[in-house]
Structure formats: structure tokens, C-alpha cells
């Protein structure tokens, strides 16, 4: 039996500015991501990845098109749609003076989780992400790797169906990156749908089963990881080839 | 209604207030003490009674109002502005809050700070023998409604400001002059007739006069006009700020 997509994006357009300065950051993208997927979203800087993610999560407004998360429209049913999403943003959207524990506790509270249940979940996440020694520290006192782990734990505190990770290993050393990969694989195997953007192609190649490439605000490729590798090139080579071709087409 | 979320948002904001207690609580209390001591005790002892009461008793409600205004405005404006600056307002924008719930949450936190500071200033006023209370329910109404108005105005300022300079500009050119020219330190009757007319166009005059009338029982303004101005501002600002959150003005890209 086919499962309903966890994320459905239809004809999404997001423009900035007006008149002559009007620019489409996202230009009519369509995506259908099945539940349980580990989905990679690739693209050069400024391609529109973070803007598209912002439209899904609510940090950006939508110019036109439709987005549903687990069947809930992100504009009309925004409360239900947002309850399904856990976000680890590219830039830390965190008050640097908050303690680690409070960051998790406040986020759980925002999602309406009662105190007893919230504290039990936080305890599990703190253990899972090896944060026990750091719960009393302010966010600004943590190392890059620890910060990423806190952001991930925070994104999971309300047990979302869809986890959106925008550059989750940026600025993290190799050892800690591998540790984060292990967490993500465990989560996906436990049934969590994950969308991952990254500039580390080996990360996408290792973790994702489906990969879409976005360039100049458009989806220029969207298929299984295996199909990218069929031409005998690595994912990195294939990615470079596709983005260069699409840039040439745009220039023409 | 997301009650747990709303409670959490207020709790987070109040925690922030107590984390920087010197700035949020002690500094206004020290400045209130100095105001009461200088204008009430030193200067006030050389001034005749105003409207049948000692100068310190007359001026104290204005000092109380000044502190409520400053506390509520600065709390909500800094919450929204620093949230934009550090991007952590996104943690509220991506969670299942309605626009109204977000406004209620931030406004309540600003009101709480205004009330905490008001309690401290009242305590200091009691030490100086400056506190009288003529109508307790009306006094509570004025304290809470003025704290609400400035909490909402602070949110508006936080949304509007793109940098620290713009935030300071609003305080320096709008809040401070309107507050001081609203009759904190003087009676309307002390002004020339033309100035009396312009003072009555200043909505801040009705805040000061309202709280003064509830404390010392003397009002220089039309109480009905004052109540209409205050109720209109609470409703109007509440609607405007909720609308701005709905369209994501300067917070959603």
C-alpha cells in the first residue's frame, strides 16, 4: 500500500523584492517525499535550499504554491503542520545565553508537551546525545559539535514525524560528524522521515536514499541515489555535472 | 489555545528578566528612589501643596507610571528585537503557536515586568510616606492597562527596529518626551492655557492622570475620555500587533 507523502511541495514560488528588483529565490518547485525517507537536498550556495526549507517550517512566507506536511497545509493548518516538523536550522536560531536544559525544556513546552512527559523525553535525549555533563552550561559555552547535538536534540524533543536538517554538520570535526551520522541513521531506521541539506557530498551519499538537486530556485534532478551512480560517476561528479548543465541552460 | 506553550513562553521571558536582575529590577528601583528623594523630599519640601496634597504625594503616581512604562516597553521591545537579531524568535515562529498566542505571551511577560517594578517602587514610596490609595480597583486597572499598552508598543518597536539605533530612536523621540510631557512632575493648572490644550491631546497625560486619581482621588482630566483612550489603545495596538505577526512583518522573510 502506498503511503501518503510526509512532505508535498506543489508549484512553490518564493520571491524577494518588488518591481525591477523582484527575484525568485524558489521558482516553481515540486517535491513529493514519502514517509520514512532519508532525503537529500543538494545545491550550490544561494540555490534556494534554505528558502524552500523556510517556507516549509514557517520562517519564510510563501509567494505562491502549496506545501503540506503529513497532509496538513502549512498556511491553512499551520499549527498542525508545524507540530509534525523538527528543525535544525543552518544558522543557530538559539538564544546563546540559555542553558542547554532550558533550551530543550522551552521547546518542548512550546509544542504543548506536559511537564512530566517533557522532562522524561529530555532525559532520554540528553542520554542519547551524550549531553549529561553539559545541561547546566549556556549554549555559548559549548563547542561546535556539542552545539549541533543540542540543536538536534531540540529538534526531536516533540518527537516530530519529519526532521529537517539544514547543514547539521557544518563546522563539526570529522569524529563528531560521524557520531551525528550514526544518530541520524538510528533515527531513520526507527521510522523518522529526514530531509538533509549538506555541502558534504559523502554525507548525502552515505545517508540518503533519495536525492534532489536544486539550482537557481528550480529542481533540476530528483531521483534515487542509485540512479545518480548508474553512469559510473560518483555522486559528487554527477552533482557537479547536473548543476553545471542547469546553469548553462539558465544562462541561455 | 496552546496553554502549555503560552505558559512556557511567559516563563522563558520572566526567567530572562530575573537573569539580568540588576538591569531589569534594581536599576529602575534606584532611579525611582532618587526621583522620590530629590523631587519629593528635597525639591518638594520647598513647594506648596498641589491640589491639596504634598508635592511628594502628588508626584509619586507619575514616578510610578514612568517606571511601569519604561519596564514594560523595554522588556517586550528587547525580547522581540534581540530575538530578531540572534534569530531565536524563529523558535517561536516554527512552533504551533497562533499569532494571537505569541502576542499574548510576549505582552504578558512585559506586563509582569511592569508589575514587579511597580511593586518595588510602591515599597520605596511607602518608606518615604508618599503612597496613598483612593480607589484600589481603579488603581489596578490603570497599572495593568498601561503596562499592557507599553508592552504592545514595545513589541511594535521591536518589530519595526532594524538596528539598535532605530530602537533607541523610538524611545528617545517618542516614548520619553510624551511621558515627561504627560504631567508626571506638574499639575495641568501650572501650565499656560495653550499648553494645557496640547497636554490634553497627549494620551500619556490620561495614563498619569488616571493613576493619580486612583491614588490621591484628584483628577484633572475627563475620566471618561481617559478610559476611552486607554481602552481604545489596548484594543487598537493588540489588533495591530497581532496583524503584524500574522503577516510576518520584519520577522518572517
- Whether A94 sits inside 8 A of B88 (CB atoms) is yes
E strand segments, A58-209 = 64-69, 72-73, 85-88, 162-166, 193-197
* pLDDT exceeds 70 at position A9: yes
Q: Are A204 and A42 in contact (CB under 8 A)?
A: yes
Residue B129 lies in a domain: yes
Residue B51 lies in a domain: yes
Q: How far is A108 from chain B (nearest CA, A)?
A: 8
Q: How far is B253 from chain A (nearest CA, A)?
A: 5
Residue B253 lies in a domain: no
DSSP state of B53: B
Q: How far is B154 from chain A (nearest CA, A)?
A: 19
Q: Using CB atoms, which residue from B15, B87, B98 is nearest to A93?
A: B87
* pLDDT exceeds 50 at position A10: yes
Q: Looking at the complex, does the CB of residue B20 fall below 8 Å from at least one CB of chain A?
A: no
Please report which confidence band the pLDDT of residue A1 belongs to, taking 50, 70 and 90 as the band edges. Answer: very low
Residue B37 lies in a domain: yes
Q: What is the three-state SS of B188-201?
A: HHHCCHHHHHHHCC
- Whether A59 sits inside 8 A of B94 (CB atoms) is yes
pLDDT of residue A156: 94
* pLDDT exceeds 90 at position A15: yes
Q: Which domain holds residue B137?
A: 3-247
Tell me the pairing of strands A72-73 and A64-69.
antiparallel
Residue B72 lies in a domain: yes
Q: Which residues from chain A sit within 8 angstroms of residue B16, using beta carbons? A: 95
Please report which confidence band the pLDDT of residue B146 belongs to, taking 50, 70 and 90 as the band edges. Answer: very high
Q: Which residues from chain A sit within 8 angstroms of residue B9, using beta carbons? A: 109-110
Instruction: Give the total number of structural domains in chain B.
Output: 1
Q: Which of A184, A118, A175, A113 is nearest to A144 (CA)?
A: A175
Residue B252 lies in a domain: no
Q: What is the ipTM of this complex?
A: 0.89
* pLDDT exceeds 70 at position A3: no
- Whether B91 sits inside 8 A of A107 (CB atoms) is yes
Residue B118 lies in a domain: yes
d(CA A141, CA A143): 7
Residue B100 lies in a domain: yes
Query: Distances from the Cα of A157 to the Cαs of A64, A160, A183, B46, B157, in angstroms?
Result: 31, 8, 14, 63, 32
Minimal Cα distance from B4: which residue of A? A112
d(CA B242, CA B101): 9
Counting one residue from A and one from B, how many pairs have CB atoms under 8 Å apart? Answer: 86
Q: Which residues from chain B sit within 8 angstroms of residue A57, using beta carbons? A: 94
pLDDT in tens, B61-111: 999 999 999 999 999 999 999 999 989 999 999 999 999 999 999 999 999
- Predicted TM-score of the model (pTM): 0.92
- Whether B91 sits inside 8 A of A60 (CB atoms) is no
Q: Are A195 and A39 in contact (CB under 8 A)?
A: yes
- Whether A110 sits inside 8 A of B90 (CB atoms) is no
**A interface mutation test: which of B96, B245, B249, B250 has the most A CBs within 10 A?**
B96
Amino acid at each position: 500500500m502506498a503511503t501518503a507523502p510526509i512532505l508535498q511541495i506543489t508549484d512553490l514560488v518564493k520571491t524577494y523584492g518588488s518591481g525591477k528588483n523582484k527575484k525568485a529565490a524558489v521558482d516553481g518547485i515540486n517535491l513529493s517525499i514519502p514517509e520514512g525517507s532519508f532525503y537529500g537536498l543538494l545545491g550550490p550556495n544561494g540555490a534556494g535550499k534554505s528558502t524552500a526549507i523556510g517556507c516549509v517550517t514557517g520562517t519564510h512566507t510563501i509567494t505562491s504554491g502549496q506545501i503540506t506536511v503529513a497532509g496538513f497545509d502549512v498556511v491553512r493548518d499551520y499549527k498542525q503542520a508545524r507540530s509534525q516538523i523538527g528543525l535544525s536550522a543552518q544558522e543557530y536560531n538559539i538564544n546563546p545565553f540559555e542553558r542547554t536544559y532550558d533550551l530543550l525544556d522551552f521547546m518542548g513546552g512550546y509544542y504543548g508537551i506536559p511537564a512530566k512527559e517533557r522532562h522524561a523525553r529530555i532525559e532520554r535525549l540528553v542520554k542519547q546525545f551524550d549531553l549529561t555533563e553539559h545541561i547546566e552550561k549556556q549554549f555559548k559555552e559549548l563547542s561546535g559539535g556539542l552545539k549541533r547535538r543540542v540543536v538536534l536534540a531540540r529538534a526531536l524533543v516533540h518527537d516530530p514525524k519529519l526532521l529537517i536538517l539544514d547543514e547539521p554538520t557544518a563546522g563539526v570535526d570529522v569524529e563528531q560528524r560521524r557520531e551525528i551520522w550514526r544518530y541520524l541513521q538510528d533515527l531513520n531506521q526507527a521510522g523518522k522521515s529526514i530531509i538533509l541539506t549538506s555541502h558534504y557530498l559523502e554525507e548525502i551519499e552515505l545517508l540518503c536514499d533519495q536525492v534532489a538537486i536544486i539550482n537557481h530556485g528550480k529542481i533540476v534532478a530528483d531521483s534515487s541515489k542509485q540512479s545518480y551512480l548508474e553512469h559510473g560517476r560518483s555522486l559528487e561528479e554527477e552533482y557537479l555535472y547536473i548543476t553545471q548543465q542547469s546553469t548553462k541552460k539558465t544562462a541561455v | 489555545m496552546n496553554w502549555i506553550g503560552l505558559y512556557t513562553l511567559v516563563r522563558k521571558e520572566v526567567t530572562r528578566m530575573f537573569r539580568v536582575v540588576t538591569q531589569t529590577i534594581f536599576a529602575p528601583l534606584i532611579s525611582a528612589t532618587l526621583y522620590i528623594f530629590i523631587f519629593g523630599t528635597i525639591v518638594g519640601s520647598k513647594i506648596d501643596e498641589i491640589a491639596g496634597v504634598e508635592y511628594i504625594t502628588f508626584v509619586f503616581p507619575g514616578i510610578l507610571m514612568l517606571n511601569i512604562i519604561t519596564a514594560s516597553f523595554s522588556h517586550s521591545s528587547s525580547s522581540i528585537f534581540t530575538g530578531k537579531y540572534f534569530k531565536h524568535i524563529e523558535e517561536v515562529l516554527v512552533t504551533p503557536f497562533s499569532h494571537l498566542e505569541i502576542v499574548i505571551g510576549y505582552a504578558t511577560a512585559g506586563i509582569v515586568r511592569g508589575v514587579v517594578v511597580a511593586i518595588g517602587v510602591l515599597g520605596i514610596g511607602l518608606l518615604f510616606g508618599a503612597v496613598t490609595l483612593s480607589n484600589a480597583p481603579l488603581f489596578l486597572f490603570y497599572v495593568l492597562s498601561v503596562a499592557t499598552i507599553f508592552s504592545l508598543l514595545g513589541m511594535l518597536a521591536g518589530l519595526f527596529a532594524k538596528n539598535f539605533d532605530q530602537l533607541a530612536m523610538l524611545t528617545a523621540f517618542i516614548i520619553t518626551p510624551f511621558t515627561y510631557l504627560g504631567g508626571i512632575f506638574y499639575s495641568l493648572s501650572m501650565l499656560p492655557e495653550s499648553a494645557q490644550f496640547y497636554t490634553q491631546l497627549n494620551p500619556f497625560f490620561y495614563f498619569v492622570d488616571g493613576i493619580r486619581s486612583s491614588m490621591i482621588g484628584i483628577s484633572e482630566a475627563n475620566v471618561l475620555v481617559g478610559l476611552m483612550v486607554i481602552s481604545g489603545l489596548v484594543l487598537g495596538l493588540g489588533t495591530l500587533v497581532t496583524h503584524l505577526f500574522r503577516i510576518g512583518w520584519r520577522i518572517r522573510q
